[in-house]
Amino acid sequence: MPATTFLFYRTFLPALSELDDAVVLSFDNKTFLRVYGTNVQGMPEHFIHSGNFFALPYSKRPELRTKERILALQERLVNAKTNGLMTLNVPVSYGLKTPIWQYDTKDRLRALEEGLKAALWAKENAKHPDLLYAGFEIGTYDDAMYIFNKASDVGLTRFAAGFGLFSRFIQFRNEDKLKQFEVLAAFNDVLNERGTIEFHVSGGSALNILELLAYANVSSADGSSAVLAGLAYGSVLTASGRSIRANKLKEWRCDCGFCSEMDKHAALKQLKSSPEARVRHNIRLVRLSEARINEALRENAMAELTERRLLEYNKKELWLCYAMIRKSKSRT
């Protein structure tokens, strides 16, 4: 059945531990437990990723990222605030020069089959099998239909996919976004037939795409863009989904929970001088979007909210993504 709530997990930062909003952790995260210790009550809700294959040290030593090691380290982090564990997502290749969809079909399907084997192994060996999300790296509609149906046939009802990997490269950015929504269109087609599947989108979850994800019946997502924008790029997000360098701002008006606590001049000064202030503002905007989404889901008004926000974002490729999901919904 379609998702009735949407939850976004931001990148965990120890400096923001008091915010108590949902965070995503890598399976080998050690800082999280150092910050919270055994105080489960004070922890935020969290989703435990299987680790990015393209990040150090795993890009150099993929043997450190096995299904056995991932599950063992994930289970050290599991407690009452854990909402999910993503199983090993097997890439077609550990290189980042060729997008997933450009590899031969047999190679893509081989990687998906290995991901499915890892998920089934985890289901048999996990202490908390109810938390598992079968992780995949998927690049096309046909591949998604193949693996989602096959995973459903063996009793898996929670899926996760790594998204946005090639959006960081300008030559692939627009096509990557469309490929992500091909996968989500396939998910909706399988959802229409199977009726009881959850989907977690990992990465690729910028502010201006959250409504689209919820419209596509995604139940949860994680992403680092709000944090990276503030820390690495010195940028702040706007309500219209734009990312602007803070040092280029001449004036500032914002009603988010962070900026509204001070006058507009003080807020502007904070955003220009403090990376932490930028991250706090960016996260607040994401949470405002999340709240609007969940209100729309409760009122069965997700299509209307998505269309309204897409008019504000004013990006052609986002409308193309919307059209794909709308078409898949019409096949119900």
pLDDT in tens, 107-121: 999 999 999 999 999
CATH 3.20.20.105 intervals, the chain: 7-223+300-330
Check if the beta carbon of residue 167 is closer than 8 Å to that of residue 176.
yes
Q: What SS3 class is residue 161?
A: strand
What single letter denotes the amino acid at residue 194?
Answer: R
The token pair that represents 196 in the structure block: 């009881």
**Between 3.50.50.60, 3.20.20.105, 3.90.1170.50, 3.40.50.280, what CATH number should domain 7-223+300-330 receive?**
3.20.20.105
Tens digits of residue pLDDT in 44-97: 999 999 999 988 899 899 999 999 999 999 999 999 999 999 999 999 998 888
d(CA 215, CA 322): 8
Q: Tell me the pTM.
A: 0.94
N residues, the chain: 332
Do 22 and 8 meet the contact criterion of CB atoms below 8 Å apart?
yes
Full DSSP string of 211-273: HHHHHTT--EEEE-HHHHHHHTS-EEE-TTS-EEEGGG-S-----STTGGGS-HHHHHHHHHH
37, 42, 65 from 33: Cα distances, Å: 5, 11, 21
Residue 1 has pLDDT above 70, yes or no: no
